[in-house]
Copies of this chain bind each other. A is one copy, B any other.
Amino acid sequence: MFVLVREPIDIQALTRSLVGSEDGAVAVFEGVVRNNSRGKRVLYLEYHAYETMALKKLEEVGTMARERFDIHGIGILHRLGRLEHSECSIAIVVTAAHRGPAFEACRFAIDTLKKIVPIWKKEFYEDGAVWIQGGN
């Protein structure tokens, strides 16, 4: 399940949809909106995507994770639009028989997503807004 959503992310539902009877471990990563960035107070964020390509690349992240690690299920939800402090911007859920591959695939997925999935974050401050560039 690789989805872009505009509503709050329900991680528990994603997990339930992925956990199979052979799974013993679930590793989850959640990104949440911080109240500060590079020393500036952040009022809120917006996430924008090149949606057709982002969906394709999310699936690709999932496929790569499955090829590299001994896992069963992987799902990624990324939220778009305006997000407030402490809201969840992304959830990655990985299920596996054992915890090692689950952790490693989850870490791989978020690291890879941050390189190849065309989504951008815009931070809004009291005195303006800035598009955040990856690789900074």
Q: Point out residues on A near B: beta carbons under 8 Å.
A: 11-12, 15, 19-36, 85-86, 88, 95, 97, 99, 102-103, 106-107, 110
Contacts and interface: CB of A to CB of B under 8 A. Distances in A.
A87 B22 CA distance: 12
A120 to B, nearest CB: 16
A32 to B, nearest CB: 6
Given A27-B29, A103-B29, A107-B103, A36 B15 contact: no
Number of copies: 2
Q: Which 10 A-B pairs have the closest CB atoms?
A: A28-B28, A26-B30, A21-B35, A24-B34, A103-B107, A19-B86, A12-B12, A23-B32, A21-B85, A19-B32
Given A22-B34, A27-B106, 16 more contacts: A11-B12, A11-B15, A12-B12, A19-B86, A21-B35, A22-B35, A22-B36, A23-B86, A24-B31, A24-B33, A25-B30, A25-B32, A26-B29, A26-B32, A28-B30, A99-B110
7 contacts: A11-B11, A21-B34, A21-B35, A25-B30, A26-B30, A26-B31, A34-B97
A29 B86 contact: no
Given A11-B12, A12-B12, A103-B103, A32 B27 contact: no
